[in-house]
Amino acid sequence: MRIDVVSIFPEYLAPLDLSLVGKARTSGLLDLRVHDLRDWTTDRHRTVDDTPFGGGAGMVMRPDVWGTALDELLDEDAHLLVPTPSGEPFTQRTAEALAGESHLVLACGRYEGIDARVAEHYRSHGRVTEFSLGDYVLNGGEVAALVVVEAVARLLPGVVGNPESLVEESHGAAGLLEYPVYTKPPTWAGLGVPDVLLSGHHARIARWRRDTALERTAARRPDLVAGLRVEDLDAHDLAL
Ligand code: ADE
């Protein structure tokens, strides 16, 4: 997969050299390129923004600078992703869909955002998704780009060493949060580990994990419980 990230703060993306994403890059599984938007400016001050039409506080990113950059980076296969607090929610389902694509281009806005004509223009040429990480406002799209690259890259075949670790995690196919996990020592700070996990009884462990995942999801994310499909529940689930 190829991913291009465009930002006026390319240094913000430095963590993408580390850990699993860094390894995916050096091994060639991920061709990730970070670009400085100002490289596409033509004036002495390398200007990327201007005052908003209609007035108001803050600055808006100019469509002409973004247009020059994106005309160069977007090919036929590319999917343009624009992080913005007014976008559609980015979820594990979004990450799964994006992991099946060949080329993503992330356009990181700053200030009050990117002139709306940029998304409109590229939507008539190809795929464009404006997405939000959640209901809060960040200073720009860079952190969102880090999130997308990490969430997508770990789903690419070969990036996570043991693919089984992708199976039972929160927001997986079951639509539940993950059950609590424990390791050694068996007693810490006066706290033990649930007996069932030390029992070696695989069926009981699986049942306990399912029950605690459901309880946790009900307590922390009732919105997810509402979205569960009845056919995915068994008699024991329904008795909880
Ligand atoms: N840019 C600023 N806030 C954001 C958010 N919540 N999600 C994605 N991009 C953003």
In a domain, 163, yes or no: no
Average pLDDT over residues 62-87: 98
Condensed to tens digits (0 to 9), the pLDDT of residues 86-136 reads: 999 999 999 999 999 999 999 999 989 999 999 999 999 999 999 999 999
Q: What is the CATH number of the domain that holds 223?
A: 1.10.1270.20
Percent of the chain with pLDDT over 90: 86
How far apart, in whole angstroms, are the C-alpha atoms of residue 185 and residue 181?
13
106's CB contacts (< 8 A; 6+ apart) are 3, 4, 5, 6, 81, 82, 83, 141, 145, 148, 149
State yes or no: ipTM above 0.90.
yes
How far apart, in whole angstroms, are the C-alpha atoms of residue 202 and residue 187?
22
Residue 141 near ligand 1, beta carbon < 6 Å: yes
pTM, full prediction: 0.94
Condensed to tens digits (0 to 9), the pLDDT of residues 175-230 reads: 899 999 999 999 999 999 999 999 999 999 999 999 999 999 999 999 999 999 88
Judge if 32 and 149 occupy the same domain: yes
Residue 89 near ligand 1, beta carbon < 6 Å: no
Judge if 129 and 189 occupy the same domain: no
**Domain count of the fold of the chain:** 2
Judge if 35 and 96 occupy the same domain: yes
pLDDT score for 111: 83
What three-state secondary structure class fits 99? helix
For residue 223, the CA-to-ligand 1 centroid distance in Å is: 22
Judge if 105 and 191 occupy the same domain: no
Helix axes 142-153, 92-99, angle to 10 degrees: 70
In a domain, 129, yes or no: yes
151's CB contacts (< 8 A; 6+ apart) are 90, 92, 95
**Residue 152 CA from chain centroid, whole number:** 7
List, in sequence order, every beta strand (DSSP E) within the chain: 2-7, 31-36, 49-50, 60-61, 78-89, 103-107, 127-132
From 120, 153, 186, the end of a domain falls on 153
In a domain, 161, yes or no: no
Residue 85 near ligand 1, beta carbon < 6 Å: yes
Residue nearest to atom 10 of ligand 1 (CA): 84
pLDDT score for 17: 95
Judge if 39 and 137 occupy the same domain: yes
Residues of the domain holding 181:
170-239
Sign of the dihedral through C-alpha 77, 152, 83, 89: positive
For residue 43, the CA-to-ligand 1 centroid distance in Å is: 28
Mean confidence (pLDDT) of the chain: 95
Judge if 10 and 123 occupy the same domain: yes
Judge if 99 and 190 occupy the same domain: no
Residue 138 near ligand 1, beta carbon < 6 Å: yes
Residue 63 near ligand 1, beta carbon < 6 Å: no
Judge if 90 and 180 occupy the same domain: no
Q: Both tokens of residue 9? A: 């703060």
Judge if 45 and 128 occupy the same domain: yes
Choice from 61, 108, 131, 132 to test ligand 1 binding pocket (greatest atom count within 8 A of CB): 132
Residue 144 near ligand 1, beta carbon < 6 Å: yes
What's the count of helices (H) and strands (E) in the chain, helices before strands? 8, 7
How far apart, in whole angstroms, are the C-alpha atoms of residue 233 and residue 226?
12
Helix axes 142-153, 19-26, angle to 10 degrees: 70
Residue 83 near ligand 1, beta carbon < 6 Å: yes
First to last CA, the chain: 43
For residue 141, the CA-to-ligand 1 centroid distance in Å is: 6
